[in-house]
Amino acid sequence: MAKMLGVNGGLTSIDLSRNQLCGLDAYGQGTYTAEGIIVIADALRVNGALTSVDVGWNDITGNVAQELATVVLSKPTLEIFCNIPIKKLRADSLSELDLSGKGVGVTGALVLANLLPVTGALTTLDLSFNDLKYEGISAVCKAIKSNKETKLASLNVSGNFIGPVGANAVVAMVAVTGGLTSIDLSRNQLCGIWTDNKGDPHGTYTTEGITAIITAIDDALHVNGGLTSLNLSDNQLCGLDRYGLGTYTADGITAIADALRVNGGLTSINLSENQLCGIWNDWTPPLWTGQHGTYTAEGITAIADALRVNGGLTMTNLLRNQLDVESAKMLAEVAKQRGISLCGIQRDQTTAKFYFNVLQPPDAILLASDLSQAIVTGALTKIE
């Protein structure tokens, strides 16, 4: 294939995505090799006709990712790489860029990082579910940080396996990006543990990533002054994943609660699906078959105490944390006193969907609290 690319002058677009070019399958099984990508990169160097190349979802990392990115950036005729509109970014003609689930990967992130410093018009960037890992997110955040003209207000990097190291890179960027108002860090294994597609556990719990986020909430936000929305859902904040793997600790969520007590800048925070109470569900869609673990109210009580004194929050999302009825009622009482949503409903939201969310009776108590407050759900015209 590489030999064909080197001599074919008529081919303008090639899609090599989802092919295990580095020897690894979708589950990470196999032996990594860069041989295939290196010859592809060599072929791209001499091909002058291609305008679009896609090598997404091939787990290209490390030095070979950097080498391929360098080749891509050196090709003035290349307009699109891994769905990244290179030509438009160079022309600074985009205000919004949605690359969610496009297979950007580490290589694409490195390419994007070289283009972001010259994009003064971009206000919204969605990189969710692209397997950026800490390599890719670090490069992107460094690029945003270096752009003194950036107008970026919204950044979504959910579902990218960035881990604690990536969290630190995000925080360093947030600290100096004054226009950023919303950031989504959900589903990112910020605590260093995760379960693969086969259900096998990996990693070791650490509060490093959460400590970095706390810094963002407590210290960096005082410098930033603009961040109002933060999504930390499904990040194993208490050391347990959705399958009960790991060991429960309230350290992470207690630290977040402590920061919320003194921070008035955030108006929205999503802490859903974090096993805050040490319980996890045993279910196979669409059937829920029971709960496991030992219930503790330590983490959720800390959050309730923080909500009592926080003067800025209007929206929280605490659904799917396996609360008991008593904890749910406690939160509902606090929420009604403060006019706070507990289910992630924004005050201007007209439609709310909770279909197939595996909500339990305590979740219904949180939802009932929201629905009983006109200030919270007065704009709703439809709920599913």
pLDDT score recorded for residue 284: 60
| 189, 157 Cβ separation under 8 angstroms | no
**Looking at residue 347, what DSSP letter applies?**
T
For residues 320, 325, 331, 334, the Cα torsion angle rounded to the nearest 10 degrees is: 160
The residues of the chain scoring below 50 in pLDDT are none
pTM of the model: 0.92
Mind giving me the DSSP string for 126-167? E--SS--HHHHHHHHHHHHHH-TT----EEE--SS--HHHHH
Q: Say how many CA atoms lie within 13 Å of 222 toward its Cβ.
A: 8
Tell me the two tokens of residue 32: 């990594």
E strand map for the chain: 13-15, 52-54, 80-81, 84-85, 96-98, 124-126, 154-156, 182-184, 193-195, 201-203, 229-231, 268-270, 279-284, 287-293, 315-317, 351-352, 382-383
pLDDT in tens, 308-353: 999 899 999 999 999 999 999 999 999 999 999 999 999 999 999 9
Residue at token pair 């283009």: 115
Report residue 126: phi and psi, to 5°.
-115, 110
Q: Cα separation of 293 and 382, whole Å?
A: 36
Count Cβ atoms below 10 Å from residue 49 Cβ, excluding itself.
12
pLDDT score recorded for residue 189: 85
SS3 57: coil
pLDDT score recorded for residue 29: 84
**The one-letter amino acid at 343:** C
Q: Cα separation of 329 and 294, whole Å?
A: 20
pLDDT score recorded for residue 289: 64
pLDDT score recorded for residue 297: 95
The residues, any chain, with a CB within 8 Å of residue 314's CB and separated by 6 or more, are: 267, 268, 339, 340, 341, 347, 376
Mind giving me the DSSP string for 214-241? HHIIIIIHHHH----EEE--SS-TTSB-
Tell me the two tokens of residue 91: 């022309």
Q: Cα separation of 206 and 204, whole Å?
A: 6
